[in-house]
Amino acid sequence: MVRTVATAEEMRELGAELAGLLRPGDLVVLSGPLGAGKTTLAQGIGEGLKVRGPITSPTFVIARVHPSLADGPALVHVDAYRLGGDLEVDDLDLDASLEESVTLVEWGEGLVEGLAEDRLEISIERGEAAETSEGRTVRLRGVGPRWEGVV
C-alpha cells in the first residue's frame, strides 16, 4: 500500500489509523531519511494505541516503553540509528517483551527482521519538493501470514 501524506498532522492520523490494525506481538520497522516523519508516525501510533506519552525520538536512550492507558498493548519504541549491529540489538532484549507489546523500531531495516517472522515494514520518503516540504510518500509492506490481506 502506498499513501501520500501532505502534513505532519496527516502523518499522525495515519499512525492512529495503523494503530487500529496493530496487536500484541506485532513488529513494525520504520525506515526513511532523517526528518522524514518516522517519529511523527510513531506519535500517531502511540495516540491510537492510547499509551502513556509523550512519544519522542528515543535516539539517545535507544528504547522507551510506553505502557497502555487503556486495555491494549504497551508500545516499545526503539531507535536503532546509533546501534552498530545485531549484537547491540540483542543486548536490548526486545524479544523479551515482543509477545505482549507492539514493538516499533525506527532505523531498524537490516537489523531487527530476525525478531519476528511477521512484521509491518513502513518506509517514508520525502516528496520531490524542497527538503522543508512536509509532503511524504509512505509505503507499507506486510511480511508473513499475519499481514496477508491486512495491508
The string of pLDDT tens digits covering residues 19-50 is 999 999 999 999 999 889 999 999 999 999 99
pTM: 0.86
pLDDT, position 36:
93
State how far the Cα of 81 lies from the Cα of 91, in Å rounded to an integer: 15
The string of pLDDT tens digits covering residues 113-146 is 878 889 999 999 987 654 556 689 999 999 999 9
Given a cut of 70, whether residue 77 has pLDDT beyond it is yes
> Residue 37 has which C-alpha cell?
516523519
Q: In degrees to the nearest 10, what's the CA dihedral of 140, 102, 147, 143?
A: 70
Given a cut of 90, whether residue 9 has pLDDT beyond it is yes
Strand partners, 143: 119
Average pLDDT taken over every residue of the chain: 85
Please tell me which residue, 90 or 100, carries the higher pLDDT value: 100
DSSP category for residue 134: -
Q: How many helices (H) and strands (E) does the chain have?
A: 3, 7
